[in-house]
Structure 1
Amino acid sequence: MKIDRHGKAKILSVEEVQLLFNSGLQTERDRALFGIYLFCACRIQEACTLRTVDVYDASGRVRPKLIIRKGNTKGKLATRTIPVIDDLRILLTNYQPATGQPYLSPGRFGEPFQPDSADKALRKACKRVGLEGVSSHSFRRSALTQMSDALIPLRIVQEVRSYAVELKMR
């Protein structure tokens, strides 16, 4: 568990995730952003740099698949398309970025929301509900652990973890 931002990120239980989304995270933007971390098992940089057009179509509806561009991935190896499951679709439908906004989670001066700012928002949410040892990476670790617990083949979990190849979940 992380202590003073050192150590491994905590793996969240279902109850802790519900607590964070129901009481800790205060804005639709934050719920959508952290929903992407959780349901796509992506890294903080990947979620913060998502473009609006990679999530919503021209009419403002959530696309069936979310696109993470290879330039925003850790290894910059491949663009990934990730199916948007119903729980994530609800979070993204409840949150609509301002019209003409290039980034899903806008920050200041037309730039994407910065990972440090997202991390700060999460720390405030965790403090609000009394959770310790949680970081943005907790959502990625929790998603991968849940996949493993659900007996998803290790090869698929490794693909998600490494992002070396495009994952097509069925």
Structure 2
Amino acid sequence: MAQAKTLTATELRRVLDYIATRPHAARNRAMLLVTHYAGLRVGETASLRYKDVLDEAGQVRSEIRLDAEQTKGRYGRVVFVAEKLRKELQRYVATTPEQGPAAKLFQTQKRGADGFTANTLAQHFHHLYKGAGIDGASSHSGRRSFITNLAAKGVPVRVLMSLSGHRSLSSVQVYIDVHDDMKRKAVELI
């Protein structure tokens, strides 16, 4: 199976522009940016609850603690939230009706549902990327783009491993897409 496409900044902008024209734009933008700016897996994104993301004052936390049940490998971890993602999530929360702390952060339109499941969110991302005309992108594209972009900026692979919740270096290394700009910058270090 082919790896999910990593997105360039221009392609991400194209998806965000497409999302802006669709229903539930604030929710869809926030969900997509959680994968691109924090590297969360689709299942981790779908599992987020208000209490995970918001503090007692209703502000987006600078660190999200994922319980073992929320992660693929069943190992809890801390997700560090960049300031630009905190602002995005705060804008999203301001547009949603008041929810209890245990409610899912990202709700579907389906009545009675407890928000997205990993599968429904993966399908939703597929349709968003397809609608924006981004071939080869999937629910894993945000995560791969997050890791690749940080690697291109010189973030050490052990830090990438920790940020992504991988438990081995070889696991995180397959996420890093090497592109010509990275190689150009590398040879200029000589």
1:128 Cα offset (Å): 2.8
Q: State the partner residue of 2:92.
A: 95
**Alpha-carbon offset, residue 56 of structure 1:** 1.2
Match of 2:131 in 1: 128
> In structure 2, what is the equivalent of residue 13 of structure 1?
8
> What displacement does 1:51 show?
1.0
Q: Which has the higher contact order (CA 8 A, sep 6+)?
A: 1
Asked if residue 150 in structure 1 is aligned to residue 145 in structure 2, the reply is no
Task: State TM-score, norm by structure 2.
Answer: 0.75
Residue ranges of structure 2 left out of the alignment (5+ in a row): 169-190
Q: In the aligned structure 2, how far is the partner of 1:71 from the partner of 1:119?
A: 18
Identical positions, percent: 26
Say whether the 8 Å CA contact 1:24–1:126 is kept in structure 2: no
SS of the aligned residue for 2:121 comes to helix
Write the letter of the residue equivalent to 2:160.
Answer: V
For normalisation by structure 1, the TM-score amounts to 0.83
Q: What secondary structure, in the 3-state scheme, does the structure 1 residue paired with 2:98 have?
A: coil
Structure 1: tracts of 5 or more residues without a match? 1-5, 166-170
Give me the whole-angstrom Cα distance separating, in 1, the residues matched to 2:132 and 2:99: 34
**Pairwise CA RMSD of aligned residues?**
2.0
**AA at the equivalent of 2:163:** V
Question: Is 1:51 the equivalent of 2:49?
Answer: yes
Q: Is the 8 A contact 2:129 2:138 kept in 1?
A: no
Ranges of 4+ aligned residues in structure 1 off by more than 6 Å: none
- How many pairs were matched up? 159
Corresponding residue for residue 105 of structure 2: 104
